[in-house]
Amino acid sequence: MSLPVINPNGTLKGKVALVTGASRGIGEAIAARLAMEGAMVVVSARTAAEGESRLPGTLAHTVERIKAAGGHATLIKADLAQASERERLVEEAVDAYGPIDILINNAAITFFMPVIEFTEKRFKLMMEVQVYAPFHLAQLVLPSMIARKSGSIVNISSPAGLHPKPPYRGGRGGTVYGLCKAALERFTTGLASEVQADGIAVNVVSPGLVDTPGVAVHGLINEQTKDRVQPIEYIAEAVYQLAKADPQTMTGRIDYAEPLLAELSIAPTPLI
């Protein structure tokens, strides 16, 4: 098998992609996959350098990974809980590479606890980062996309957005997380219906259980779930496929990574 490489003349040549939550895990993998197809990638998160988070991974490492393979990437540190930071992020991304062609809303902050224990501060923070930030970022990039009659927005969701079904066995305190993802999915389908005629695709990808630093810190992989762990290449490939999708035939979709790739008869591409 040949080693994965950057294809400067790939299907995303000349495209500018903004990926949030890209200092590690799923966001980093998505950024790498888009860069492999020739996209100029702007990566954003709160962790730009070592020592800024208790979790491994930084924006600097993501950029280094892409550039070392011959791709184009730049980092912009931003706190998506702040409206001014979201506005600055888009402004600086456009200054760096030009108008945004692809927006990947992956950033998240998550607390797992029962509703009765959830504080207003934590509830509002989760809603701000996981629901309103994708909404606001879409508002910021859509005018240029509409003017150019081209664009793609992919929101990263989770099976937590599905309704729990009986018999109930208690939970891990994921009600607010599920609420956020359900709202994000409804936003996706609604926006897709609004902008399809403008040549813009808006879709959701949900990963399976992926071994990332965030998943590890919440203890989501255990003896009961370890057999369901999915390689990170699946989510990166699924996002890429929707990022390049024709809005006339593939928009407003809520897709899970592995079934989507099976539908398209595509195997995940090894990452740089």
Alpha helices (runs of H) in 58-174, residue ranges in sequence order:
59-68, 83-97, 120-127, 133-148
46 CB-contact burial (10 Å; exposed 0-12 / middle 13-18 / buried 19+)? middle
The letter for the amino acid at 74 is T
Q: What angle do CA 174, 24, 2 make, to 5 degrees?
A: 125
Phi-psi region of 134 (alpha: psi -120 to 50; beta: other; left: phi over 0): alpha
- The pair of structure tokens assigned to 175 is 């009600």
Query: Quick one: tokens of 86?
Result: 């979201």
Nearest to 111 by CA among 22, 182, 172, 26: 172
The H or E element containing residue 8 is: none
Sign of CA dihedral 107, 89, 46, 38: positive
Q: Strands of the chain (E only): list them.
A: 16-20, 40-45, 72-77, 102-105, 151-156, 200-206, 254-256
Closest of 215, 92, 205, 217 to residue 159, by C-alpha:
205
Catalytic residue positions? 177
Longest distance between any two alpha carbons in the chain, whole Å: 53
